Amino acid sequence: MTALERHLRKWLEKAILDFGLIAPGDRVCLAVSGGKDSLVLLHLLTGTLVDVTKDFHLMAVHVDAGVPGSDASQLAAHFDRVSVEYEIAPAHHIFTQANAPDNKKRPCFICARLRRRILFETAHAHGCNKIALAHHRDDVVETLIMNMFYNREISTMTPMQEMFHGDLAMIRPLYYIREPLIAKFAARAQLPVLKARCPAEDTTRRKFVKDTLAHMASVDPDTHNNLFRSMFRIYPDYMPQTPPGGVKLPRNF
């Protein structure tokens, strides 16, 4: 095992233990898009675990959204190689619905919502009580900034989010791990990363925020770490209280 893999495993296990993400007897449905993040998470969860319970069942699920040029057969072959239970969920209607010309909502929002619905249905069909998502620390910080920029709220992805009155939970075991390390490991391990085929890949709000944060980090390398740590250092005494009737702002002149 390389030093990089040991580092990733250490922080994967720390996130699982810190936030109670996996417990004995859990049935975990891992969402595998075919990107580097989900393939690295699959590698880590099917490999050596030291401090985390081994008494859990893992299955991989790939939602085939029907993006032109995509091919799930490479993923199926990889699942067979690592000997993990899996399901390829055909959902070609997702791309069509998300990109319909009469949509009033953004294609990314529609696509994510439809994919998640299929994940919920698949997890339920297989008796899974948790869905593992491959969101990493960069995703968490980007979501924090995106919600402030576009949704007028301070919120982000949580390590574990319970749904349906606790019957199902979404977990994020890569919560502490930076994206560049994931990309480096995926390349070194020669994981079969699928090429991104989404036509909106380079024009999303997330891409804009990612580029903005990269620029900030070029000025101050601690930017990302400071933003991540700030979520755990909230001082209510220095936050305003919402006035009766909500907040209204004056017009810009």
Fold of 3-233: Rossmann fold (3.40.50)
Q: What is the pLDDT of residues 98-114, one digit of tens each?
A: 767 777 677 777 888 88
Q: Poorest-confidence range of 23-27, 145-149, 180-184, 191-195?
A: 191-195
Residue 199: what pLDDT? 62
- Distance in angstroms (rounded) separating the CA atoms of residues 200 and 198: 5
Q: What residues does 62 pair with on adjacent strands?
A: 88
Residue 194: what pLDDT? 87
What does DSSP say about strands 57-64 and 160-163: parallel, antiparallel, or unpaired?
unpaired
Backbone angles phi, psi at 21, to 5 degrees: -75, -35
Mean pLDDT of 158-172: 95
3-class DSSP state of 114: helix
Q: What is the pLDDT of residues 1-11, one digit of tens each?
A: 899 999 999 99
The percentage of the chain sitting over the pLDDT mark of 70, rounded to a whole number, equals: 93
Residue 203: what pLDDT? 65
Q: What is the pLDDT of residues 188-216, one digit of tens each?
A: 999 999 887 666 666 688 899 999 999 99
Q: Where are the domains of the chain?
A: 3-233
Compute the mean pLDDT over every residue in the chain, rounded to the nearest whole number: 91
Structure pTM? 0.91
The percentage of the chain sitting over the pLDDT mark of 90, rounded to a whole number, equals: 73
Residues whose CB is less than 8 angstroms from the CB of residue 103 and which lie 6 or more positions away in sequence, other chains included: 97, 110
Residue 202: what pLDDT? 63
Strands (DSSP E) contained in 85-176 are 85-90, 130-132, 160-163, 168-171
Nearest to 58 by CA among 69, 70, 45, 76: 45
Q: What is the pLDDT of residues 40-87, one digit of tens each?
A: 999 999 999 999 999 999 999 998 877 766 778 889 999 999 999 999
Residue 219: what pLDDT? 96
